[in-house]
Structure 1
Amino acid sequence: MTKNRVTLILLIVLLASSCSLSKANKGYRGAIVGNWILNDVTYKGNSGNFKSVLFNDVTDACFKGSQWFFRNSNSTGSYTINPGGECMEGTRNIRWSVNEKGDGVNQLQFKFIDEKRNDVSGGYGYRLDIVTLNEQQMTLQTNTSVEGEPITVVYNFSRSY
């Protein structure tokens, strides 16, 4: 009976530790939590002027100055597009997490949810590589292509208090 109990306890500990976040992942999550402003969106790796629709939502110009909020307790948050021009203003709710890519790169991933925290995108979401993350700044990027040519979209945030 004692041997079975020890085996059961070891199995529970092993299961609990396999489901927990790594120390690095917890650090990234903790650093992301809070309020951010998306200062600008830039493009690397290709020349020319770009006008793109980001996250299947609005153009890159509409994202400039957008306010982002990341809550830790239930991994939800939002971003708010400011009014102006062709921008469809308003708040979009998200569920977010940090993904360990496995090659030393961590990613911020998110998908859209409604007010009741239900997925509204059919499980589809977005992943952005975390390039810089500290108390004041966050730089994210994602690789894509334009007319078959590779390009990197860079998102520069600053902490908002």
Structure 2
Amino acid sequence: MTKNRVTLILLIALVASSCSLSKVNKEYRGAIVGNWILNDVTYTGNSGNFKSVLFNDVSDACFEGSQWFFRNSNSTGSYTINPGAECMEGTRNIRWSVYEKGEGASQLQFKFIDEKRNDVSGGYGYRLDIVTLNQQEMTLQTNTTVEGEPITVVYHFTRSL
């Protein structure tokens, strides 16, 4: 009986350790949790003025000043678009995580969910490279193309109290 008990404990420990997050992932998650303000969206790598629809939702101008919340306990959160002339205001619910790309690079990934935490995007989501992340600021970016030319969309956040 004792041998079976020891085997069971070792099996449980093995399963628990294989499901745990890496140290880097835990650090990023801990730093992301909380309230953030998306101060501005900028573009690098190409010249000109850009206006874009972000996350298949609203224009980049509507995201400036938006409130973001990341909950750790169940990996859910939301962002709220403020009222504006061309902005569809309101709160969008998300499920988020940190994805480790390898070679020390990590990304914030999220997808849209409803109030009952069900996926509403057919499994489709977004990944943003984590450029800067500390207790006061977060900078994320994603690479895309405009008329065949590469461009980087940069998101500048500050911690909200």
Normalising by the smaller structure, the TM-score range is over 0.9
- The residue number in structure 1 matching 2:25 is 25
Q: Partner letter of residue 129 of structure 1?
A: D
Shift of 1:56: 0.2
Deviation digits for residues 85-135 of structure 1 (CA, Å, limit 9, x no counterpart): 100000000011111111211111000001111110001000001100111
Q: How many residues align?
A: 161
In the TM superposition, 1:56-75 aligns within 5 A as 56-75=56-75
Partner SS, residue 101 of structure 1:
strand
Report the Cα offset of residue 23 of structure 1. 1.2
Task: Provide the residue aligned with 1:77 in structure 2.
Answer: 77
Question: What does 1:1-161 correspond to in 2, within 5 Å?
Answer: 5-161=5-161
- Aligned to 2:46, what secondary structure does the other structure show? coil
- Counterpart-to-counterpart distance in 2, 1:134 and 1:20: 22
Deviation at 1:8, TM superposition (A): 3.9
SS in 1 for 2:28: helix
User: Which runs of 5 or more residues in structure 1 are unaligned?
Assistant: none
Output the aligned Cα RMSD. Answer: 1.2
Structure 2 length normalisation: TM-score?
0.95
- Residue deviations 1:27-72 (CA, integer Å, cap 9, x gap): 1101101100000000111111101000000000000000000111
Structure 1 counterpart of 2:67, one-letter code: Q
TM-score calculated relative to the size of structure 1: 0.95
Q: 2:49 and 2:2 mapped to 1: Cα distance?
A: 70
The secondary structure found in structure 1 opposite 2:47 is coil
1:2, CA displacement in angstroms?
A: 5.2
Identify the range of structure 1 (4-13 vs 76-85) with the bigger mean alpha-carbon deviation: 4-13
Q: Give 5+ residue unaligned stretches, structure 2.
A: none
Distance 2:7 2:46 in 1: 58
Distance 1:134 1:52 in 2: 27
In the alignment, the residues of structure 2 paired with residue 158 and residue 135 of structure 1 have an alpha-carbon distance, to the nearest angstrom, of 9
Which amino acid letter does the alignment assign opposite residue 21 of structure 2? Answer: L
Q: Percent identity?
A: 89
Residue 10 of structure 1: how far off its partner (Å): 2.8
Shift of 1:12: 2.5
